[in-house]
Amino acid sequence: MFERALKKVPGEEKLGRAECYNMMANCHSKLGEFPLALSAAIAATEQDKTSGEAWLNRGWAHGYLQQWAEAVSSLDTALDLVGLDTEDEAIAQTWLQR
């Protein structure tokens, strides 16, 4: 489904593509497919480096894959960006304390 949606978003529409990848990362995470979640989250951050949610998804995926340094780096980036709501920030802080 997401692949079809991505084909409809013009290449220059980076924010739209980032949102598709972000939703894909969320879905893969919920299914426990963390390598796929990480790939989608990385694609989202490549499309929109200012998306706190994309960096948060990237950090979670790294964490679930026990890639701790990358998880901390991604979560720190997420916390530095605007657009992260209070609940997401609290979750990121909890992960950073592990």
How is 15-27 classified by DSSP, letter by letter?
Answer: HHHHHHHHHHHHH
- Position with higher pLDDT, 1 vs 53: 53
Structural domain total, the chain: 1
Q: How many CB atoms lie within 10 A of CB 39?
A: 16
Contacts of 53 (CB under 8 A, 6+ apart): 22, 78, 83, 84, 88
Q: What is the mean pLDDT of residues 40-47?
A: 95
Q: What is the mean pLDDT of residues 69-81?
A: 90
Report the CATH number that the domain containing residue 15 is assigned in CATH. 1.25.40.10
Tell me which residue range forms the domain holding 32: 2-96
Residue with tokens 């939703």: 23
CA distance 23 to 65: 19
pTM for the full predicted model:
0.77
Query: In this model, does residue 18 exceed pLDDT 80?
Result: yes
- Position with higher pLDDT, 18 vs 45: 45
Structure tokens at 93: 């802080």
